[in-house]
Amino acid sequence: MIKTVENLKIKEIPGINLVEKELYELLQGSHENTYNICKRLITSGGKRIRPALVLSTAGCFGKVTKEAIQASAACECIHMASLVHDDIIDESTMRRGTSTVNDEKGNHTAVLVGDYLFAKAFEILSKNKLVKSMEVIVDAISKMCDGEIFQSENLFNLDQTREDYYHRIYQKTGVLIATCTQVGAITAGADEEQIRAFRIYGENLGYAYQIIDDILDFKGDEKILGKPVGSDLKEGNITLPILKLIQDKEYKDWIKKIIKKGDIEENYNQILRLLKESYALEEAFGEAKNCVENAKQSLDCIEDSIYKDMLLNIANQVLTRKN
């Protein structure tokens, strides 16, 4: 019997321990160095949000099947692989308070580790004949790659729109989260209307998650985040708080000059002060709250259960997270 949702932690969701077991079993037979790198990624403090979403969604239909556990492990492999590749692209040296694979082992090894994890995800899906889940996951990966290209083409672009931003964060974050909830429903035999409801839930949860991530990049605690604050703007990623700030043309022109001169680092504290004084951070948080409400409302057609409560609770917790 699981606890009430207020006290339920992700590590206590039925099946989550089997996902961990599945992840370790995937590494069996790999070269010692590959095993050690991947083992460190598995144990590096990931929240297991994506497996939790798969399992909780499946649980809404009364069963957490073996297929749901396998699909959860595949989704987590894809998530880990994408983080490894992101760190290479961003030239990141720290994640979750530890050195990145690319920093420690070099880009060559990091690329191969990411590819290895992608391959292991498809090994799970193909070996267990999870064809419909695979179709959704393949589509997600293509959108994630497309999103990275779109982001790289728009670095330091202050003329991008709010719609551009939402398109980018859907591909960067929302699509994989929406995939997890869809896959959970698929493995439990949900109908098309129910799968669609969980897709909408996942998309909006992903929007909220990324907006909060972008807010924390300006006002988070480096020790809690496990990475330097302010890195997005310094790397050229224009996020929602900045888009809110530059609605004022005077601020937009000023930041454009800073970017042109390459003086973001020197003016970062002033930018942070303006973000606070202009209420840009508060307005961005307001949009995250709206996304959370949209996510929760999308589940109105789903029968009440402790698993549905867990999904509603995950949505609420996005707004209070610190890392």
Distance CA 241, CA 211 (A): 9
Distance CA 17, CA 85 (A): 26
Residue 5: the pLDDT is: 46
Q: pTM for the whole thing?
A: 0.91
Check pLDDT > 80 for residue 69.
Answer: yes
94 three-state secondary structure: strand
Distance CA 26, CA 28 (A): 6
Check pLDDT > 90 for residue 304.
Answer: yes
Give the chain's end-to-end CA distance (angstroms, integer).
30
Cβ neighbours, 10 Å, residue 162: 12
Check pLDDT > 80 for residue 141.
Answer: yes
Check pLDDT > 90 for residue 112.
Answer: yes
> From residue 191, how far is each of 186, 201, 239, 260, 301 by CA, in Å?
8, 16, 36, 52, 12
Mean pLDDT on 290-307? 96
Residue type, 138: V
Mean pLDDT on 95-119? 92
Name the least confident of 100-114, 174-188, 216-230, 306-320: 216-230
Check pLDDT > 90 for residue 29.
Answer: no
Residue 80: the pLDDT is: 94
Residue 226: the pLDDT is: 61
State the alpha helices, DSSP H only, in the chain: 16-27, 32-42, 49-59, 66-90, 101-105, 107-127, 131-153, 162-169, 175-187, 192-219, 222-225, 231-235, 240-245, 249-261, 264-277, 280-297, 306-318
pLDDT tier for residue 296 given thresholds of 50, 70 and 90: very high
**241 — phi, psi (to 5°)?**
-55, -40
* Average pLDDT of the chain to the nearest whole number: 91
Q: Is the Cα torsion angle 240, 245, 248, 250 positive or negative in sign?
A: negative
Check pLDDT > 50 for residue 9.
Answer: yes
Name the least confident of 54-63, 164-173, 197-206, 221-230: 221-230
Residue 2: the pLDDT is: 41
**157 — phi, psi (to 5°)?**
-85, 105
User: In the numeric block, which tokens belong to residue 3?
Assistant: 């606890």
pLDDT tier for residue 92 given thresholds of 50, 70 and 90: confident
**Domains within the chain, CATH numbers bracketed:** 10-314 (1.10.600.10)
Check pLDDT > 60 for residue 1.
Answer: no
98 three-state secondary structure: strand
* Burial (CB count <10 Å: 0-12, 13-18, 19+), residue 278: middle
Residue 8: the pLDDT is: 53
Percent above pLDDT 70 for the chain: 95
Residue 90: the pLDDT is: 85
Name the least confident of 45-49, 76-80, 142-146, 207-211: 45-49
Residue 44: the pLDDT is: 84
Half-sphere exposure of 203 (CA within 13 A, CB side): 15
